[in-house]
Amino acid sequence: MPEIITTVYDVFMRTYPGFLEATVVTLQLTAIGVILGTVIGLVFALMKISGSKILQAIANIYITIIRGTPLIVQIMFLYFGIVELYTMSNFWAGAIALGVHNGAYIAEIFRGSIQGIDPGQREASMSLGMDRRQTMSRIVFPQALRRSIPPLGNQFIITLKDSSLVYIIGVAEIFSLGNREAAQSYQPFESFLVVALYYLVLVMIFTFLLRLYENKLDVDRA
């Protein structure tokens, strides 16, 4: 047992400069994936609640396809579909794939929080003479957005882990580096243990930050 600890320690010490760079790449992929996903998600959530049958159908098709296929397939699809057409870096192909993937899940998060707002809020606003647009932008959306933050944070953590799948198109993020390290060093067990630790620590940090934020929200509105 002590022996494994020392070998893992050795692997860690030998590889951390590379891993720190890879961590930056992972965080960039995650951030772009979530931000792009939020923009896409907002658009599709609005389409779903728009009342227009056509827009709803388009949104439903998108959400069904994304949720019904593996992320790794979507990454390959985007990579060969787009990078081939427009000379785009592998990094951006991966980041966009994560964004498009997240968009479907985030659309459902937004839709859920908008529809979860008590209809009485809308009625009160309308009864005061506010029109549909004012009611949405000033009463419904601000409340829905606040409700979306915990599930969005959760989605961020999922994306952080999911970003490992873009190793398949050769983006130098944490998993990809670990994979190479495992092959080169003939120490696969130790290498993947180190990889797991990087993800675990990142997830724990973001979980902690999310908790902090949720508690603050509770305190503000309690």
Partner 1 sequence: MIIGENIHKSFGDLEVLKGVDLHVKPQEVVVLVGVSGSGKSTLLRCFNFLEMINDGKITIDGHTVNPKKDNLTKIRAEVGMVFQHFNLFPHKTVLENVIEAPITVKKMKKEAAKKLGTELLEKVGLGDKANVYPSKLSGGQKQRVAIARSLAMQPKVMLFDEPTSALDPELVGEVLQVMKQLAEEGMTMVVVTHEMKFAKEVADRIIMIDEGKIIESADPKNFFENPQNERTKQFIQLVE
Mask: binding to partner 1, 41-70, rule CB under 8 A, as x and -?
------------------------------
Q: Which is nearer to partner 1, 15 or 125 (CB)?
A: 125
10 Å CB burial of residue 207 (0-12, 13-18, 19+) is middle
139's tokens: 């009463």
* Closer by beta carbon to partner 1, 3 or else 131: 131
3-state DSSP assignment of residue 88? coil
Does residue 214 interact with partner 1 by CB under 8 A? no
Contact indicator for 221, 143 with CB cutoff of 8 Å: no
Distant-in-sequence contacts of 177-185, Cβ < 8 A, 24+ apart: 177/15, 177/18, 177/19, 177/22, 178/19, 181/11, 181/15, 181/18, 185/11
Q: At closest approach, how far in Å is the CB of 70 from partner 1?
A: 39
CB 131 within 8 A of CB 153: no
Nearer to partner 1, 93 or 152 (CB): 152
Please, which residue, 124 or 196, has the CB nearer to partner 1?
Answer: 124
Site size toward partner 1, by CB under 8 A = 21
Report the SS3 class of residue 167. helix
Stretch that binds partner 1, among 28-36, 47-55, 132-140, 180-188 (CB under 8 A): 132-140
Binding residue for partner 1 (CB under 8 A) from 28, 143, 179, 207? 143
* Residues in touch with partner 1 (CB under 8 A): 118, 120-121, 123-131, 134, 138-139, 142-143, 146, 220-222
